[in-house]
Amino acid sequence: VQDEIIWQHINPIVEESLTLVRSGTKKLDIKIETDLQAKCSVEVNRHQLLQVLVNLQMNGVHAMNDSGILQISTQDWTEGKTTIGAIIKITDHGCGISEQNLTRIFNPFFTTRRSGTGLGLSVSQGIIESIGGEIRVQSEVGVGTTFSIFLHEKAMIEQEGDILLQIKP
């Protein structure tokens, strides 16, 4: 079932996304470096996470003008000695995002590309937030951008009409 949220290791999903991105960038001068260290499983919708990963990776490819190094890493997300989920990082060494644009990149229809719809990041953020996760971005103009996806081990799904709360000890 495509819309099922189940326990999964994220590394195979990341590897599948890389296969898709590699096939779409064969003729480009893109080198992909990986460091997949995450060991914990998380509750996610595999197809939706795949969509988010491909979108973020292709954005990185475009930011590098089809030439450069794209880095993807995974690691366990810990608080103290407790693993609470997984983190996926996607880093490009492209043009970077200005401070002014950083505040708007997740807005629907915001784009800096002629051929873009401006929906990719907005939809990606919605997918990750729908399971209680978070996408964070760090960028420096002329240096590059890193998108970090934080996924809790247990999905935190809002029930209709309920408010999603995460209680911190």
Of the pLDDT bands very low, low, confident and very high (cuts 50, 70, 90), residue 70 is very high
* CATH, domain 6-152, list 3.30.70.1230, 3.90.226.30, 3.30.565.10, 3.40.1010.10: 3.30.565.10
Mean pLDDT, rounded, of the chain = 88
pLDDT tens digits for range 15-33: 999 999 998 888 888 999 9
pLDDT tens digits for range 78-109: 999 999 999 999 999 999 999 999 988 888 87
DSSP output for 129-155:
HTTT-EEEEEEETTTEEEEEEEEESS-
Look at 118 and 149; give whichever has higher pLDDT.
Answer: 149
Residue 160: pLDDT above 60?
no
Give the max Cα distance, the chain.
Answer: 50
